[in-house]
Structure 1
Amino acid sequence: MLEGVNVALGVTGSIAAVKVVELAHELRRQGAEVRGVLTESAQGIVHPWAVEFATDNEPITELTGAVEHVDLCGRDGWADVLLIAPCTANTVGKIAAAVDDSPVTTTATTAMGADVPVLIAPAMHEPMYDHPGVLDAIDRVESWGVDFVDPRIEEGKAKIATEAAIVTEVARETTPDSLAGEHVVVTAGATSEPIDPIRTITNRASGKTGRAIATACYVRGADVTLVHDGDDVPYADVRRAERAAEMRDAVLAAVDDGADALVSAAAISDFTVDAAESKIKSGEERSLTLRPAPKLIDAVREAHPDLPIVGFKAETGVEDAELVDEARRILDRAGLSFVVANDASVMGEDETRVLLVRGEGYAEFTGSKSELGAWVAAELAEVLGNV
């Protein structure tokens, strides 16, 4: 996600600075090169040696005649982005007032003057975060083009955002915004159909591919609606749907809100049953009558004849030629932009192999589902005419 990206990581004197080692590791796992910049207060919480270990670069702990802040974030500087994580109320206020009295605030002023993207992840006690002066400072800094990663409000504290949320925002800052201004609806994971109040019929889909695509679309600037039977995510408007009919209705509502594209990555139930009102007794044979579940893509296509739609097709035990034929069948039937086809054996795995079928041709992809998400998002940008 961050291959080739240079991140200047500013660390200030919040207790959340203890998390900077893992944050630096995660940035590097995603491909970034990282150099630390520490305030004096931060050095009382996390030792510069720990930051050096985590980044594999000696951190900046003071500014000298070598003008380290300009080397990092000047107009011809090293950094592609300045990330301040964690950022205290004190530092936000100083940045808003252009006060340069620490390596971090001076580097921030330099970055903003040089049009280097600046991203801030605040961390403090909740009453401090709610102080009108702090809120005014955040608003002022945001008006200058600085972006913030919202903290998690828990236990009376505005806790620093998760490493995953911060990395996603860093990627959004440093990735070409080929989907900027687009509203993309993405479905993910399995649906389930109740048999009784306890049991369901479902499938093995994990939702990893759909969530990876939703993340990749967000990173490229899109507004994303994610429809799934899962948790909230910081990068999308989540609408929950358990059953196939609920997912169809949720997607239609989201598309009606002005969507520019739909990526239908969820493994939606093909069949539904009439659920018993009370638990079915165990220990005896039962027969279930399966009825076809509503087809989401057909419903969306009927309501929105011109909407770009990306479909997914999973099969088992077939050769590539047959898989392509099955993908092209739904491509033509529903007028899809392209179809991502795969063998169902990759369900739940982190790595995948797919065939992307578009027009008369197809392309093969093998790699992580995160990388697949980026590939699908790039193809979607091309479909929408943004590249």
Structure 2
Amino acid sequence: MLDGVNVALGVSGSIAAVKVVELAHELRRQGAAVRGVMTESAQGIVHPWAVEFATGNDVVTELTGSVEHVELCGREGWADVLLLAPATANTVGKIAGAVDDTPVTTCATTALGADLPVVVAPAMHEPMYDHPGVLDAIERVESWGVDFVDPRIEEGKAKIATEAAIVTAVARATTEQSLAGRRVVVTSGATAESIDPVRIITNRASGKTGRAVARACRVRGADVTLVHDGGDVHYAETVTVESAAEMREAVLDAVGGDRGGDGSDEGDAPAADALVSAAAISDYTVERADEKLRSGESRTLDLEPTPKLIDGVREAYPDLPIVGFKAETSGDDGEMIEAARGILTRSDLAFVVANDASVMGDDETRTLFVDAAESVEFAGTKAELGGEIANRLATTLRD
């Protein structure tokens, strides 16, 4: 996600500075090179040697005749982005007032003057975060194009955002915004059909691919709605569903939105620009028993086919770009391509991502991108696949 990106990591004196070692490791795991910059207060919480170990580079703890702030964040500087994590109320206020009395605030002033992307992850006690002056400072700095990663409000504290949320913000700040202004609906995970109040029929889908697609679309500037089977997600508006019927209803609602522009659903134009249907939706449902079925008895379940989601969306929105998925178990590429072309034609899809079902739950995958003209193989992580799907979607929408 951050391959080849140089991150200048500014650390100020919040107790959340204890998390900077793991944050630096995560940035590097995602492909970034990291160099640390610390205030004097931060050095009282975490030793510069720890940051040096985590980043693999010397840490700037004071500004010298080497003009470290310019070398890092100037117009010809080393960094592609300045990340301030954690940023205290004091640091945010100083940046808003162009006060340069620490290595971190001086790097911020230099970066803003050089049009370098800046990402800020604040951390402080909640009353400080709610102070009118702090809120005004955040609003002012945001008006300069700085991206703030919202803190987690817990236990009376505005705790620093998760590492995943911060990495996503850094990636968004350093990635071409090829989906800016677009609204994308993504489905993810498995659906489940109730047999009785405690038993369900479901499948082995993990939702990793759908979540990766949603995150990749967000990184490229899209507003994303993720319709899925649950879990904590920081990069999209989410709708949690269980059954195929609930997913169908939620997707139609998310795609449609306020189609009339006046709070109504009048009109045929969807609010969404595209649908990526990555979820493994149940093909069959059963009539649910009102009470728990007794165990130890033979049972026969009558399986009823569920309506195809993409067919329903296509009927409602004939011109909406839709990306479909097709999982097969044969292991034969020719059969996968044939099956993918079948739904490509039936539902007039932009392209289909075909794969062998054996990769369900894995982090690595191998797929075939199938469209009307060709089939192209992809192999890599599901995170990388999400990026490839988002790139192809951006091309589809541009064309």
Question: Scaled by the length of structure 2, what TM-score is found?
Answer: 0.96
Contact 1:73 1:116 in 2 (8 A): yes
Look up the equivalent residue of 1:143 and give its one-letter code: S
Residue 341 of structure 1 is matched in structure 2 by 354
Residue 368 of structure 1 is matched in structure 2 by 381
- Name the Cα RMSD after superposition: 0.7
User: Mind listing any 5+ residue stretches in structure 1 that lack a counterpart?
Assistant: none
Of 257, 266, 289, 2:302 maps to 289
Range moving further from structure 2, 358-367 or 278-287: 358-367
Residue 111 of structure 1 is matched in structure 2 by 111
Residue 166 of structure 2 is matched in structure 1 by 166
1:41 equivalent in alignment to 2:41: yes
1:92 equivalent in alignment to 2:105: no
Q: For this pair of structures, how many residues does the alignment match?
A: 386
Residue 356 of structure 1 is matched in structure 2 by 369
Task: Provide the rounded CA distance (Å) in 2 between the counterparts of 1:176 and 1:139.
Answer: 24
CA deviation profile, 1:154-202 (whole Å, cap 9, x unmatched):
1111000011110011000000011111100000000000000000000
1:324 equivalent in alignment to 2:337: yes
Question: Scaled by the length of structure 1, what TM-score is found?
Answer: 0.99
Task: Provide the rounded CA distance (Å) in 1 between the counterparts of 2:356 and 2:309.
Answer: 21
- Aligned to 1:100, the other structure's residue is in SS state coil
CA deviation profile, 1:270-316 (whole Å, cap 9, x unmatched):
00000000000000100000001121101100000000000000010
Residue 266 of structure 2 is matched in structure 1 by none
Task: Provide the rounded CA distance (Å) in 1 between the counterparts of 2:75 and 2:146.
Answer: 17
Residue 279 of structure 1 is matched in structure 2 by 292
1:137 equivalent in alignment to 2:137: yes
User: Mind listing any 5+ residue stretches in structure 2 that lack a counterpart?
Assistant: 258-270
Q: How does 1:304-315 map to 2 (within 5 A)?
A: 304-315=317-328
Q: How does 1:1-387 map to 2 (within 5 A)?
A: 1-257=1-257, 258-385=271-398
Task: Provide the rounded CA distance (Å) in 1 between the counterparts of 2:84 and 2:65.
Answer: 23
- Aligned to 1:310, the other structure's residue is in SS state strand
Task: Provide the rounded CA distance (Å) in 2 between the counterparts of 1:52 and 1:69.
Answer: 17
Look up the equivalent residue of 1:128 and give its one-letter code: M
Look up the equivalent residue of 2:354 and give its one-letter code: A
Task: Provide the rounded CA distance (Å) in 1 between the counterparts of 2:341 and 2:88.
Answer: 54
Give 1:385 deviation, angstroms.
Answer: 1.1
Task: Provide the rounded CA distance (Å) in 2 between the counterparts of 1:181 and 1:359.
Answer: 27
Contact 1:229 1:241 in 2 (8 A): yes
Percentage of identical aligned residues: 75
Give 1:317 deviation, angstroms.
Answer: 2.0
Contact 1:185 1:227 in 2 (8 A): yes
Contact 1:232 1:238 in 2 (8 A): no
Task: Provide the rounded CA distance (Å) in 2 between the counterparts of 1:315 and 1:3.
Answer: 32
CA deviation profile, 1:192-228 (whole Å, cap 9, x unmatched):
0000000000000000000000000000000000000
Task: Provide the rounded CA distance (Å) in 2 between the counterparts of 1:135 and 1:23.
Answer: 25
Give 1:360 deviation, angstroms.
Answer: 2.5
Task: Provide the rounded CA distance (Å) in 1 between the counterparts of 2:162 and 2:232.
Answer: 13
